[in-house]
């Protein structure tokens, strides 16, 4: 009788084609689109005699919503400063409007104040420097109630560049409320994570802008 030689067993080595979870590339991460496709496939192929519990379905929809929100947050957080500035640079040369009562003066040119008188009366613009000193008083004449007006200060040659405050007052010296700052964006910059718009010695936060238009 011919004997069969005994074989010595050795530990099997994993195939090189087998990937562990740590080997998977980042592109294999589950996205909201993948999640939705899986959810739809689950319902298309469920056993009609034992349908999915509606409570479980609602729970899966909540998970899908949370996944979408996390993707949006991740996209916003991972934006580089250069990307943020590149996006904001599209505002250069555009006219923007924000709530406020300040004007910027640069090279003897000033930004504007937009306002609407609440009553028909005579009005004037009182201009103050950063120290609270009045530097000018401009008569605006008789204005109709509700009419939208724009005051663009013409500073004298003795006025230095910088930011100034403007109060539009009626004949009783009562300031108009709800004035708006208006000017053309000349430069954009980052302060922390906030985009700052320079209108010419008048800096606004992009988040404060209420309107953008062609000058």
pLDDT digit string, tens, across residues 16-39: 444 444 444 444 555 656 666 776
Specify the DSSP element, H or E, that contains 40: helix 32-44
When pLDDT is cut at 50, 70 and 90, the band that residue 41 belongs to is confident
Q: State the sign of the Cα–Cα–Cα–Cα dihedral 151, 157, 159, 161.
A: positive
Residue 12 has pLDDT above 60, yes or no: no
d(CA 94, CA 186): 8
Task: Please give the CATH topology (third level) of the domain spanning 87-213.
Answer: Immunoglobulin-like (2.60.40)
3-state secondary structure of 57: helix
Of the CA atoms within 13 Å of residue 125, those in its CB half-sphere come to: 23
Contact 200, 186 (CB under 8 A): yes
Average of per-residue pLDDT across 109-124: 97
- Residues shown for the chain: 215
The whole-number pLDDT of residue 88 equals 83
What does the alpha-carbon distance between residue 165 and residue 104 come to, in Å, rounded to a whole number?
Answer: 9
- Residue 53 scores a pLDDT above 90: no
The residues of the chain that CATH labels 2.60.40.4070 are 87-213
* 97 pLDDT above the threshold of 90: yes
**Residue 167 near residue 155 (C-beta atoms within 8 A):** no
What digits encode the pLDDT tens for the residues 174-194?
999 999 999 999 999 988 888
Between 55 and 121, where is the model more confident?
A: 121
Element (H, E) at 196: strand 194-198
């Amino acid at each position: 009788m011919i004997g069969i030689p005994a074989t010595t067993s050795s530990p099997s080595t994993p195939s090189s084609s087998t990937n562990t979870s740590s080997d998977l590339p980042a592109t294999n991460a589950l996205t909201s689109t993948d999640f939705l496709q899986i959810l739809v496939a689950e319902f298309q192929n469920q056993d009609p005699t034992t349908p999915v519990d509606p409570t479980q379905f609602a729970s899966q929809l909540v998970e899908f919503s949370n996944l979408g929100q996390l993707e949006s947050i991740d996209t916003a957080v991972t934006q580089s400063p250069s990307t943020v500035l590149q996006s904001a640079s599209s505002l250069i040369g555009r006219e923007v409007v924000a709530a406020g009562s300040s004007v910027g003066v640069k090279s003897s040119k000033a930004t504007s104040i937009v306002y609407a008188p609440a009553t028909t009366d005579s009005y004037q613009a009182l201009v103050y420097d950063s120290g609270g000193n009045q530097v000018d008083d401009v008569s605006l004449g008789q204005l109709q109630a509700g009419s939208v007006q724009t005051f663009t200060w013409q500073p004298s040659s003795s006025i230095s560049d910088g930011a100034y405050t403007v109060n539009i007052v009626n004949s009783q010296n009562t300031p108009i409320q709800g004035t708006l700052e208006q000017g053309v964006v000349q430069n954009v910059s980052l302060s922390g994570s906030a985009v700052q718009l320079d209108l010419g010695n008048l800096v606004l936060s992009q988040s404060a802008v209420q309107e953008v238009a062609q000058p």
